[in-house]
Amino acid sequence: PDKSNKEAAAALSISPFFVSDYQSAARNYSTEKLKQIIGLLREYDLKNKGIDNGSANENDLTKELIFKILH
């Protein structure tokens, strides 16, 4: 990793090895999309724990979550 990757890694408190993954994610997902995804993760975590979940099983919830993230 070059110096800028090391600086970015230090600022993010991650290994320099993962900086390129973070850079790729930053290019592919807007801040609004990330907020939406985090909200979905919270929602489906609660559903998986039985809160506000009709009769969906873990598999169904996972498929639904992935669909919502990708679309």
Domain boundaries, the chain: 3-70
Whole-structure pTM value:
0.69
Q: What are phi and psi of 15, to 5 degrees?
A: -70, 140
pLDDT digit string (tens) for 3-25?
A: 788 999 999 999 999 999 999 98
State how far Cα 65 lies from the chain centre.
11
Q: How many residues are given for the chain?
A: 71
The label of the residue with tokens 């979940």 reads: 53
CB-based contacts of 15, cutoff 8 Å, min separation 6: 9
CA angle 65–35–45, rounded 5-degree value: 40
pLDDT digit string (tens) for 38-53?
A: 999 999 999 999 898 8
